[in-house]
Homo-oligomer: A and B are copies of this chain.
Amino acid sequence: MPRPARPLAANKPSLNGKAAETGAPVPRAQAVYKALRRAIIEQALKPGVKLPEDAIGEQLGVSRTLVREAFGRLAVEGLVELKPNRGANVAYPTLEEARDVFEVRRGLERLVAENLAGRLTPAQSAELEAHVRLEEKAHEQDGPESIRLSGEFHIKLAEMTGNALLLRYVQEASSRCSLILAIYGRPHSSECAVSEHRQLIEALRAGDAARAAALMDHHLQSVVTRALLAPRGERDIRDVLAPYALSEGLTPS
């Protein structure tokens, strides 16, 4: 299918040379990785979609080699499924995997809360407050902005721990949650209650580690029940088609 090849990633001004004095000669493989990652998280590439090496490489202006490299990393992070000899797809987590992710995420973020309790600098505290105010603003219009901000709140917290590994894991879990919500989430429910964020900040500032951890725990727990309880789509076409078949008097095997 011939389509006009318009490079999706036109963000590499000078690929030869030193990237215009910006310091690091970043390998393009990483650029491909980031591009795909964003596309998946923002649901431009929907869960389950096929990812042919050729097409993507062409679109991004690189060879299959780099695309494959990116696939490998995305697969490790659970954003892409890699089947031998059958190529790559955007991951399509099962409900069970979804629960696993949320459970791990709860554990990680509880750690974040404990780590941060009583150790927030005034600047950090203020930053969080400001963020929550943004969330409230966005919440009124109830756009996709609201969802993004909710997620960023948690990332910000993880950053503030100064623990790079913890941050990476939280980010990873968070990315996978995007996927999961794309599949099983309710259409426009903003996942996080802003008030819960407020309470959390309060507990952190008070240095009450136990309470902060409990709040975080409860918070994420309620995210699950709010967003995840109503499975919307099914993985298998059969599941999608079953009701249609029945209404037409056909009997799925």
Chain A interface (Cβ within 8 Å of chain B)? Answer: 24-27, 29, 65, 68-69, 72-73, 76-78, 84-85, 97, 100-101, 103-104, 106-108, 110-111, 115, 163-166, 169, 173
Contacts and interface: CB of A to CB of B under 8 A. Distances in A.
B84 A25 contact: yes
A154 to B, nearest CB: 15
10 contacts: A24-B84, A25-B84, A27-B84, A72-B73, A76-B76, A104-B111, A104-B165, A106-B111, A107-B107, A107-B108
Given A76-B76, A76-B77, A163 B24 contact: no
Contacts of A73: 72-73, 76
Most buried by B among A65, A101, A165: A165
Contacts of A163: 100, 103-104
A25 B78 CA distance: 21
A181 B84 CA distance: 35
For A104, A166, A169, the residue with the greatest tally of chain B CB atoms inside 10 Å of its CB is A104
A97 B164 contact: yes
Given A76-B73, A84-B24, A104 B169 contact: yes
Contact of A26 (B84, B103, B104): B84
Contacts of A68: 69
A88 to B, nearest CB: 12
Given A69-B69, A73-B72, A107-B108, A100 B25 contact: no
Nearest to A111: B107
A110 B110 CA distance: 11
